[in-house]
Amino acid sequence: MPPAAVLLDLYDTLVASDWREWRDAIAAHIGVSPSLMGEAFDVTRPARSVGAYGSEAGDMTAILEAAGVEPTPALVEELITAEQEFFVQAIQLYPDSLPVVRELRARGSKVVLVSNCSHDTGPVVHRLGLDDEFDALILSYEVQARKPQAAIYEAALEAAGGTDPADAVFVDDQAAYCDGAAALGIGTLMIHRWLADPPEGMHEPAGHRTIVDLTALL
């Protein structure tokens, strides 16, 4: 029997991304070091992930301030446009992602996207057509909770028709986020995509079964 619900992470699970390339590009554009830019992304990430800055412009303003750069409206708008243009090439679905999602839904599973992300992910999700491919999208900045907080998994289960945790499976590339799901009784799979390089780093599975692609769900 297929699981009643499958909860899937976005970055480095469903899509490949290279955030360091964007970090380096924006650093060069505003005249700071890549390491300082990385720190600005890191220090603002928790708040950006729960929508604390209110908008994509608010997120970019916070990043620039953390990097010690004046966030003029013109610069903020310029960088948002550049970011979305960059993401068109830099963020792409893995070949197995949509075929597996479609097959799971055909077999009767509710499939829910569960992502720690900020406002800049909204356009990415829409560009890739994920609104139509998933039963629900749970984006942390919209629900104001982030993995591994219980509330984001609970929102996903509710969006999957109130699925019992024991009847759900969660897939993510981060051990801590799998831990959060397991604490609620959700089954977990930790994915290690070839060449994935997430900002959080790659960690040992810590008791979670490891897979290398999503076809293991079928």
pLDDT tens for residues 96-144? Answer: 999 999 999 999 999 999 999 999 999 999 999 999 999 999 999 999 9
Whether residue 197 is predicted with pLDDT greater than 80 in this model: the reply is: no
Supply the pLDDT for residue 18.
Answer: 84
Whether residue 47 is predicted with pLDDT greater than 70 in this model: the reply is: yes
Region of residue 51 (phi > 0: left; psi between -120 and 50: alpha; otherwise: beta): left
Contacts of 214 (CB under 8 A, 6+ apart): 8, 13, 14, 94, 96, 97, 100, 101, 171, 191
CA-CA distance, 120 to 85, in Å (whole number)?
A: 11
Element (H, E) at 94: none
pLDDT (tens digit per residue) in 57-108: 999 999 999 999 999 999 999 999 999 999 998 999 999 999 999 999 999 9
Residue 11's DSSP bridge partners are 15
CA-CA distance, 138 to 152, in Å (whole number)?
A: 7
Mean pLDDT, all residues of the chain: 95
